[in-house]
Structure 1
């Protein structure tokens, strides 16, 4: 064979070999957690970031989460990628939904490095940290999500928890249907737990502006007003929630608490009985009356709970003993103080 032809063939082989090695960019497998990659797809590799993301979106829509992860991770490998924060957000959401908190956190934090103002990622970090018990960290990310959303909406507002008249500033925030509703609701819950109910309610109102039909926000708002003693407003929001989901256990429970707060014990009992048997409903009425500092009123209901199902209701017996002890302690205090 002619030496020139041999040399030319050698060059072609080398070139084609280089092309094969450069065909697929290196993947960050540290973000993957699923079945072996080789079993996911025999398709030719995506040619660019957009194609990889489209493949990931399609896999996600069809419920193939391992393949979705793989495709989103492939989208990150392109040097000219410009949507890394969005892909990392999707990767984090998949891991988050699966309960893999460490990988979800890693993906979210990488997304924030790519885009510090991605309000969706910041919001999810707030959810992740509050659910894991790091409330301070969660609160900080919820604020960052809200402030990033104001940037998206073209507003020059930076909300801080230590701001004076923060409730007024909250009311001045701009929102739309894309705003981070979980950040507003999450801060509401945090402030309710801290017994700062007016501040909590200001955040809930913003969440309802984002989505007036949010069942979770309606329930939380009603409960916040219950805790602050505004039973009329609490009932209004709770009833709005029940209009959307008449059998919602949490909303029914809150409605019963509202009736107890208003002294409408029979109505509270009727609501409890919609979701549980009579002994349990009677015990609940007695228990919550005790919590409201009304042990004498609680005793008859606890006794009825025991009479209806004595073998089942050991908890009612415990609550009855506690109520009787509260009454005795109250009488001792009266005898000693004369009040």
Structure 2
């Protein structure tokens, strides 16, 4: 009888032990996980604190083991009264975003804001993501929230509204930790609305935070180009190219500025820094058309075709378009140019 009772107690103890292990495993919240089976990570003892779990995640991330990093970061969220949940969720979101899993990234970012509605990095990232997805209103809203959260961090009483003036933007506080991308994002959105002075005030703040940012310099230059200030457009675009000499967008912008200033040969030289002559000639002709100068575009397009008649289909198409535009204005002149 005693043997039977002992066996029964042993069985109950084993079952209880298994249940305990199962409970520990079931605590892992897989909602934010997307990687190899978590069972492969269960050999290590569970972390005893939130900080320990985060350190494990940091180490795994440095070793480029993003699955294990996710596993450890998510485990850090399970501790009651956790102090770093918003920052950890931001890191989880960044991992998912780097993998192209934007749905899980967004979920992590939004959860982070539940823990801390004023997390500047999260607000800035959501603003950037939504803007790139074409959700302009949402993107703008999060950019504004990021800047206002940063004002709180800096103990500033100022608050940025959607219709802020240049002077109100200039009065905002910032330091090297401020959200440069949020300022730049708002600048881009205002440039699209042709509010160039407001846009330039935002870019000025972005450059105050990151003086050597090629993106901010390039956007500032393009904003001045769109507003017709070719001197400042040239200055900022050249500054961007000092930071990134092979930046294709900045080179294109510089060529556009030279064409707008009537310096066609300089524009051609810029294009020829990174492409062969026929393509450079075609680009000059194409951008001259975009600037409403089809009659000036035609000689460059003809040269492009002459240099590579065998396959330069795009230059022929652009030439036909340029001739059609000139013909619509002055039929006789178009006939002379096409001969």
TM-score of the aligned structures, taking structure 1 as reference length = 0.91
Q: 1:64 to 1:138 in 2, by over 3 A?
A: same
- Alignment of 1:203 with 2:202, yes or no, is yes
Q: Does structure 2 conserve the Cα–Cα contact (< 8 Å) formed by 1:153 and 1:174?
A: yes
Q: Which residue of 2 aligns with 1:65?
A: 66
Structure 2: how far apart are the matches of 1:280 and 1:130? 32
Q: Which residue of 2 aligns with 1:155?
A: 156
Structure 1: how far apart are the matches of 2:288 and 2:10? 91
Q: Does structure 2 conserve the Cα–Cα contact (< 8 Å) formed by 1:24 and 1:45?
A: no
Deviations 1:66-103 (A, max 9, x none): 11111110011111212111111111111111111111
- Alignment of 1:80 with 2:71, yes or no, is no
Q: Which residue of 2 aligns with 1:245?
A: 244
Q: Which residue of 1 aligns with 2:337?
A: none
Q: Report the CA distance between 1:311 and its aligned residue.
A: 2.4
Q: Report the CA distance between 1:154 and its aligned residue.
A: 0.6
Q: Does structure 2 conserve the Cα–Cα contact (< 8 Å) formed by 1:25 and 1:78?
A: no
Q: 1:6 to 1:284 in 2, by over 3 A?
A: closer
SS class of match (1:43): coil
Q: 1:12 to 1:318 in 2, by over 3 A?
A: closer
Q: Which residue of 2 aligns with 1:214?
A: 213
SS class of match (1:136): helix
Where in structure 1 do 4 or more consecutive aligned residues deviate above 6 Å?
A: 5-19
SS class of match (1:235): helix
Q: 1:299 to 1:15 in 2, by over 3 A?
A: closer
Q: Which residue of 1 aligns with 2:124?
A: 123
- Alignment of 1:263 with 2:262, yes or no, is yes
- Equivalent runs, 1:1-339 vs 2, <5 Å: 26-40=27-41, 42-163=43-164, 166-331=165-330
Q: Which residue of 2 aligns with 1:337?
A: none
Q: Report the CA distance between 1:20 and its aligned residue.
A: 5.1
**Aligned-pair RMSD on alpha carbons?**
2.5
Q: Does structure 2 conserve the Cα–Cα contact (< 8 Å) formed by 1:52 and 1:75?
A: yes
Question: Could you list the runs of 5+ residues in structure 1 that have no partner in the other structure?
Answer: 335-339
Q: Report the CA distance between 1:42 and its aligned residue.
A: 2.7
How many residue pairs match? The answer is 332
Q: Report the CA distance between 1:312 and its aligned residue.
A: 2.2
Greater CA drift, 19-28 or 152-161: 19-28
Q: Does structure 2 conserve the Cα–Cα contact (< 8 Å) formed by 1:145 and 1:180?
A: yes
Q: Does structure 2 conserve the Cα–Cα contact (< 8 Å) formed by 1:52 and 1:71?
A: yes
Structure 1: how far apart are the matches of 2:118 and 2:239? 34
Structure 2: how far apart are the matches of 1:16 and 1:320? 80
